[in-house]
Structure 1
């Protein structure tokens, strides 16, 4: 096939496909920030670091992974912060840094000595603090900083009060910057890092498909899929998940489709674009897609473009899949029977805990959190059956009515159904769940899990609720307090859960939101008896 281009091909691409603008431009545009967990975690940590006045923060990642876009998104997210942004750190040196920073902040420089400038800068930063404003220095391409410039930044980070740093310094650079900070002479700089976040390429083919959908939506595209599925596999294989390379491949592929008069981008067009960009195919990635994805429900771009309020006729409804699939890859469907949906959700979670994951999972989707939340709120499971404790169940004990004063003997519990939860007293707090029968005068029959851990999926729900009051830093705050209690999500003891709820709740400034969070969490904790 012969391809032809002209000078107006750029504008013609938008017209041909119905874009408001080019969705795959090379300029880092914060409007196109992709809210994948990889980037949201980085943004959350940066926001938290600046707001909490942690001082020196570092983001590293290979070229094209989205460091600059992340910094620009940070600037938009904190309008009350005075940002001083440097797109290239090459010209920032130890000798000109202080003078340049003062000029950027509107501090008169003149022929003042370095000591005087340092004092004026400290005074200005303190005045900003009193006005409840932060000042942050953003240094992009920070791997270009020389050692003496890094040492000068270390001196600036020493501007502080007894409680917090006056100047927030955010550096973004390639991985070699982290190696550079590892040399002994720069140990003081490394020790002052309050946070280091590593950006990686997108890890899975499904992430690339979601990335394409996101950018097309921002460009106001509405219509059928443009990229055929085989084309998205080739995009994944040639880009390795690096956003900048994905954009370049998509931009060139769209131009090739335009030149051929096509409304679809095929795998052959992507391969041709990769050849023009001198990119090599990573066959292992494509093989990974072929090996894993036939067993997974494919979320096509067209499904996301279904017109609003369109409902599938009853006759076209697909039969339910008998084999439960992991929550993270199941699309949420209308809940016609809340009890049935609740049982399905809990069964999925139980299956995930009992069997190893045999395929890569990109990240927890919002739909999964919503489904978990709906399931936990709507759960109406049959009451549990009290069974005899056996040697195969050493972690369980059975609390019955108080024993007779005589010599206690083992009691076997008949296979009967307990009363509905609505007829039983409210369960004890988490830290009292191991109470004995003597401490339970009501004689309520309960099955207690001693030293049980919190299901890791519960923390996805906690993050979702915390985000209501904390914004995107909710996930980081929850993780920070989990680690502060010396625990992990995978093995978090229930006896510490109330302490975690109180610690996270204390971070929420709005009293009503804090109360809502704590009430919701305590209700869900009580629900562990049936979960």
Structure 2
């Protein structure tokens, strides 16, 4: 609707992931490098995590678009699959007939298929999207599938893409064997303010925008504040901003125009009018005695509470996860000890009972 008004050839901010619009931020470049490195290694697992809307699927689609001729790829988006369901889905994605067949039969056919690829000088690649939905036993099934080998060379390689919840799953004590097969991992962070502007301009130019001054500087800043640099949120908001500009016949999209759209979105999505605590945070200078090291600016909420930076919270979360791992490990050891003690007491009871009967 607004494309012709702004001289565009296509919609620049579709929600459907499109490899043609792939924007390589710092973290997206790193993730893509890990995926390409993993392909070159032809073994092990590559794990890419990131919050909702940070572009994991777009990266996967971009990889598939440039895939090598000697790689046969399949992609699955996982609900909560059981191990048997996973095997069936993987086989089906590689176009094997699974109707009415047992798991053992499907595994035999899958192994034959992989060997056939290898004999043709090809190999199989499996991309598992939304991998955080997989139960532990299903992830373990993925590891078992990687055991298909010929002359010590794996016949199937898997890439796992998932939300941040995937990380503690893989850190579980009973996932040690899987972790040992991870050759690289990366977490996608949201875009910075500068990257957000570059992302918008890149997609606009890719859609045919000639680079005329369409956006005010303050508009970019407000877009970043509202979306927090999450690509999917940027796409949703930008699509509405361009539609608003078309309907209002705006030649320049200002901060006021962006705010008008944000207000509409808040009403439609039932987002509270009151900004979040983080949105209301203000920057203050910390006064220190002269001659001493001056710390960086701190963020304070209106209540005077200090907001730590992201690294603080990441470190704290990591410590909590490690502590949980230790607790689980101790619980397992305690359970094993109790089980051993009970077995010992049972054997003693059986022996005494036997002596008594005699």
TM-score after normalising by structure 2: 0.71
1:99, distance to aligned residue in structure 2 (A): 2.6
Q: CA RMSD in A?
A: 2.5
Change (3 A) 1:94 1:270: same
Cα drift, residue 31 of structure 1: 0.6
Q: 2:82 aligns with which of 78, 93, 101?
A: 93
State the secondary structure of the residue aligned to 1:136: strand
Counterpart check, 1:161 vs 2:150: yes
Say yes or no: does 1:19 pair with 2:8.
yes
1:186 corresponds to 2:169: no
2:264 to 271, 276, 290: 276
CA deviation string 1:208-251 (max 9, x = no partner): 11111110111011141211100001111111111111111211
Mapped to 1, the partners of 2:121 and 2:186 lie a distance apart of 26
Tell me whether 1:240 sits opposite 2:219 in the alignment: no
Q: Which has the higher strand share?
A: 2
Within 5 A, what are the aligned runs for 1:31-430? 31-80=20-69, 81-86=71-76, 88-90=77-79, 92-109=81-98, 111-203=100-192, 205-278=193-266, 280=275, 283=279
**Shift of the alpha carbon at 1:89?**
0.3
Q: Is the 8 A contact 1:56 1:157 kept in 2?
A: no
Deviation at 1:63, TM superposition (A): 0.4
C-alpha displacement of 1:148: 2.1
- Report if the CA contact (8 A) 2:12-2:203 is conserved: yes
108 and 283 in structure 1: CA distance in 2 versus 1, 3 angstrom threshold: closer
Partner of 1:520: none
Structure 2: 5+ residue runs without aligned partners?
A: 286-295, 298-358
Residue by residue, what CA displacement relative to the aligned partner does 1:381-420 show, whole Å, maximum 9, x if unpaired? xxxxxxxxxxxxxxxxxxxxxxxxxxxxxxxxxxxxxxxx
Contact 2:205 2:211 in 1 (8 A): no
Aligned to 1:379: none
Shift of 1:30: 0.8
Instruction: Indicate if the aligned counterparts of 1:236 and 1:286 stay in contact, CA closer than 8 A.
Output: no
Change (3 A) 1:153 1:16: same
The secondary structure found in structure 2 opposite 1:138 is: strand
- Give the 3 Å change call, closer, same or farther, for CA 268–198 of structure 1 in structure 2: same
Tell me which of the two structures has the higher relative contact order, counting C-alpha pairs closer than 8 angstroms and 6 or more residues apart.
2
Does the CA contact (< 8 Å) of 1:55 and 1:167 recur in 2? no
Q: What is the CA distance between 1:42 and its match in structure 2?
A: 0.9
**Paired positions, count:** 278
Structure 1 residues 23 and 118: CA distance shift in structure 2, 3 A: same
The answer as to whether partners of 2:125 and 2:156 remain within 8 angstroms in 1 is yes
Q: Distance in 1 between matches of 2:264 and 2:171?
A: 38
Structure index of larger Rg: 1
Q: Give the TM-score taking structure 1 as reference length.
A: 0.49
Give the whole-Å Cα distance in 2 for the aligned partners of 1:122 and 1:56.
19
CA contact 2:75–2:93 (8 Å) conserved in 1: no
| Distance (Å, rounded) in 1 between the aligned partners of 2:114 and 2:90 | 12
SS across alignment from 2:149: coil
Alignment CA distance shift 1:108-1:246 (3 Å): closer
Distance 2:152 2:27 in 1: 31
**Which residue does the alignment assign to 1:403?**
none
Structure 1 112/236 Cα, relative in aligned 2: closer, same or farther at 3 Å? closer
CA contact (8 A) 1:102 1:117 kept: yes
